[in-house]
Amino acid sequence: MAVVDDDPSMLRSVERLLNANGFLTEGYSSAEAFLRHAPTSVIRCIVLDIHLGGMSGIELWRHLKHAGISLPVIFITAVDNEILEREAVNAGCIAYLHKPFPAESLVAAVNSALQRSSLD
């Protein structure tokens, strides 16, 4: 599972939370770092911040889809934007979580994403 967030403390926190719940994670500080280094053939889910420096989370998701890489996505964001949220939900994201979000919401979303990933 990949976690992409340009806030180092949030990236660390999300990774720790997921690792503590039995998920193996790999963190990336930008969409560009993810594209350069992530082994997309083995990643089963991505927790993705929407507002990243450089390429945004939405742009990364679109890029992956255009490249034929279909990963379940959980978006996280600190910005309240109903239009963006609706776009992400309509495009099929697993969850759209507003920071700060309850830990159990993220864990439940990851479980749902991995369940969906294993069905595909």
Residue keyed to tokens 């997921």:
18
**CA distances (Å), 99 to each of 37, 40, 69, 86, 112, in order?**
26, 26, 27, 17, 19
Residue-wise pLDDT tens digits, 35-89:
999 999 999 999 999 999 999 999 999 999 999 998 999 999 999 899 989 988 8
CB 77 within 8 A of CB 91: no
pLDDT over threshold 80, residue 117: no
pTM: 0.94
On the question of pLDDT at 118 being above 90, the answer is no
3-state secondary structure 9-77: HHHHHHHHHHHHCCCCCEEECCHHHHHHHCCCCCCCCEEEECCCCCCCHHHHHHHHHHCCCCCCEEEEE
Q: What is the pLDDT of residue 109?
A: 97
- The pLDDT, as a whole number, for residue 53 is 92
Q: How far is residue 118's CA from residue 58's CA, in Å, rounded to a whole number?
A: 23
Per DSSP, what are the bridge partners of residue 2? 26, 46
15 neighbors 77 (Cβ within 8 angstroms): no
Give the pLDDT score at 78.
Answer: 93
19-48 average pLDDT score: 96
Token pair belonging to 77: 């964001």
Domains of the chain from N-terminus onward: 2-114 (3.40.50.2300)
- In the prediction, which pLDDT does 120 show? 63
